[in-house]
């Protein structure tokens, strides 16, 4: 797979693997051996960037806890110097509510736990998972700068960041990339692109297929198991499929023109937008990983991207999941 350069000299595969779904938010966790095997297959396909987080946990069928970081570490332990592992601090869950805590002491606690679960002595890319309104950007950046000086972290980033917070944090410790929700159905973060280019910061796109709805694998009759967040997402709600029918038809048309699947068109579109965009679609199936990886070869010209943008602006679409409720730790 081709490589892309984010900020701060961080080179990664053009498409990364979002590993969350193996443990968290998609029903019962994938069994350990299967998850490890699938992640390793992803590496063999050319993926080198693997995205996880301290808070990505779930439950195996036997009732034990699935720690996503442990699965990633086990899958990649013997190719550690050939991959870039991204993990995150500053968030834990209370049910489906995201609780933020980026106090310096909490960051230091989190990094030690992540290093242990990953089975490594350094983290390639360490994200602040969500902004903590109680902790200044400068204080977070200073703490991460210390971790970088200690060799525990090589690069850092921020997820769901604003321009003001990005500028303040970057002024203390240079940021390699931001990670924001971005897809054909939700792309307001394009407004941040000029700032990223000014600062030399990359953009990692999570949920690039709008939690799977842009793959073409689901229809109006699709249902989800208990514990699968998609069951409560607006793009899967009653009437949403019909609302998005023109979008799906348009993706199908583009796919025929390019001999590509809807998912590949969606990923190729964002890859063609900017050279510093790296999508990290998640899947638990090797066949989907292979399909997504091939999107890096489905080239779109600037003219084609502009035409797609104009079409997307005119198409009716349902609401799309924008994230879980967030509160500050008490």
Domain residue limits, the chain: 3-328
- What is the model's pLDDT at position 70? 98
Distance CA 143, CA 222 (A): 45
Determine what percent of the chain is predicted with pLDDT higher than 70: 100
**Structural domain 3-328, CATH architecture:** Alpha-Beta Barrel (3.20)
Strands 91-94 and 97-100: antiparallel
Residues 96-125 pLDDT 10s? 888 999 999 999 999 999 999 999 999 999
Strands 3-5 and 65-67: unpaired
Distance CA 103, CA 196 (A): 26
pLDDT, the chain, mean: 95
pTM of the model: 0.96
User: How sure is the predictor about 270, in pLDDT bands with cuts at 50, 70 and 90?
Assistant: very high
User: How sure is the predictor about 330, in pLDDT bands with cuts at 50, 70 and 90?
Assistant: low
| Mean pLDDT, residues 242-251 taken together | 97
Decide if 100 contacts 132 (C-beta within 8 A): yes
* Statement: residue 297 has pLDDT above 90: no
- What is the model's pLDDT at position 243? 96
| Mean pLDDT, residues 182-207 taken together | 96
| Mean pLDDT, residues 78-86 taken together | 98
Residues 208-237 pLDDT 10s? 999 999 999 999 999 998 888 999 999 999
Among 262, 251, 234, CA closest to 318: 234
* Statement: residue 327 has pLDDT above 90: no
* Statement: residue 326 has pLDDT above 70: yes
Select which of 26, 56, 127, 218 is catalytic.
56
Determine what percent of the chain is predicted with pLDDT higher than 90: 91
Distance CA 122, CA 14 (A): 22
* Statement: residue 324 has pLDDT above 90: no
| Mean pLDDT, residues 164-185 taken together | 97
Distance CA 43, CA 15 (A): 11
| Mean pLDDT, residues 6-26 taken together | 96
56 is catalytic: yes
* Statement: residue 177 has pLDDT above 70: yes
Count Cα atoms within 13 angstroms, Cβ side, for 89: 26
- What is the model's pLDDT at position 62? 95
Residues 129-174 pLDDT 10s? 999 999 999 999 999 999 999 999 999 999 999 999 999 999 999 9
């Amino acid at each position: 797979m081709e490589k892309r350069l984010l900020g701060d000299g961080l080179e990664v595969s053009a498409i990364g693997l979002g590993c969350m779904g193996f443990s968290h938010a998609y029903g019962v966790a994938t069994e350990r051996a299967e998850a490890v095997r699938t992640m390793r297959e992803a590496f063999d396909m050319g993926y080198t960037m693997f995205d996880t987080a301290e808070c990505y946990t779930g439950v195996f069928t036997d009732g034990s806890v699935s720690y996503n970081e442990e699965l990633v570490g086990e899958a990649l332990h013997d190719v550690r110097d050939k991959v870039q592992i991204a993990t995150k601090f500053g968030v834990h869950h209370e049910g489906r509510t995201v609780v933020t805590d980026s106090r310096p002491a909490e960051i230091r606690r989190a990094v030690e736990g992540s290093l242990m679960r990953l089975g490594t002595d350094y983290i390639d890319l360490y994200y602040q998972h969500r902004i903590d309104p109680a902790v200044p950007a400068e204080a977070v950046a200073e703490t991460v700068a210390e971790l970088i000086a200690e060799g525990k972290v090589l690069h850092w980033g921020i997820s769901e960041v604003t321009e003001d917070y990005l500028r303040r944090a970057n002024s203390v410790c240079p940021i390699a990339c931001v990670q924001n929700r971005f897809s054909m159905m939700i792309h307001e973060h394009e407004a941040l692109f000029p700032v990223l280019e000014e600062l030399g910061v990359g953009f990692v796109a999570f949920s690039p297929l709008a939690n799977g709805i842009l793959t073409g694998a689901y229809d109006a009759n699709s249902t989800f198991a208990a514990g699968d967040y998609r069951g409560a997402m607006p793009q899967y709600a009653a009437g949403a499929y019909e609302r998005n029918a023109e979008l799906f038809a348009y993706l199908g048309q583009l796919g025929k023109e390019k001999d590509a699947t809807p998912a590949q068109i969606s990923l190729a579109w964002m890859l063609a937008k900017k050279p510093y965009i790296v999508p990290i679609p998640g899947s638990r199936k090797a066949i989907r990983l292979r399909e997504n990886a091939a999107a890096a070869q489905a080239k779109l010209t600037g003219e084609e991207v502009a035409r797609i943008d104009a079409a997307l602006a005119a198409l009716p679409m349902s609401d799309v999941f924008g994230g879980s409720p967030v509160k500050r730790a008490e």
